[in-house]
Copies of this chain bind each other. A is one copy, B any other.
Amino acid sequence: MSATDSIKDELARAVRNVPDFPKPGIQFKDITPVLADGRLFAACVDELIGNFKPGDVDTVVGIDARGFIFAGAVAIKLNCGFVPIRKKGKLPYTTVEEGYDLEYGSNVIALHVDAVKPGSRVLLIDDLLATGGTAAAAAALLKKIGANILEATFFVELGFLNGREKLKGLPIRSLVVY
């Protein structure tokens, strides 16, 4: 087992399973025990960065809200800027918007039109890849403003939900797969 496999294993064990949240039958993956442990949080941020080095990336984009925790830290370690993608109505300046379907109903996320320069090399980071709806909408927003998405990176992937299907054509990496 490599060092990176060993730390991923430790990260996976530190994620807390909370049954029946937010509703009966769902096994919620609670990442807060990882975040609360300085050593594990740092290791998780380093694994999200992977082989990227300062100078490789212009902007790290985080998805509201847990994605912000990782993306801000990754941006600092890669000496680059941070850009938020947020639920519609939260960003104050002119935005592009993209909707996606949820199990019940739908959601709209937004990005400032001037968030990155066209051609910018962007990492897209979120805590969780589930059905892929949010990430696919986020990627669509970034393409609308001309970003060049190097990779979409996730801490946890719920493999049985086939989120990768919605993100075809995009390099994807996740640290822990259930």
A25 CB within 8 Å of chain B: no
Considering the chains assembled together, what is the distance between the CA atoms of A59 and B64 in angstroms? 22
Q: Does A52 belong to the interface (CB within 8 Å)?
A: no
Residues of B contacting A32 with CB < 8 Å? Answer: 83-84, 91, 93, 112, 115
Q: Contact partner of A36 among B21, B35, B76, B115, CB < 8 A?
A: B115
Q: Which of A163-177 contact B (CB under 8 A)?
A: none
Counting CB contacts under 8 A, is A132 at the interface? no
Cα of A30 to Cα of B92 in the assembled complex, Å: 7
Given known A42-B76, A79-B42, contact A22–B89 (CB-CB < 8 A): yes
The interface of chain A, by Cβ under 8 A from chain B, is 16, 18, 21-22, 28, 30, 32, 35-38, 41-42, 45, 59, 62, 64-66, 68-73, 75-77, 79-84, 86, 89-93, 112, 115-116
Of the A-B pairs whose beta carbons lie under 8 Å apart in the complex, a sample of 11, sorted by A's number, is A32-B83, A32-B93, A35-B72, A36-B83, A36-B115, A41-B72, A41-B81, A42-B79, A65-B68, A68-B69, A69-B82
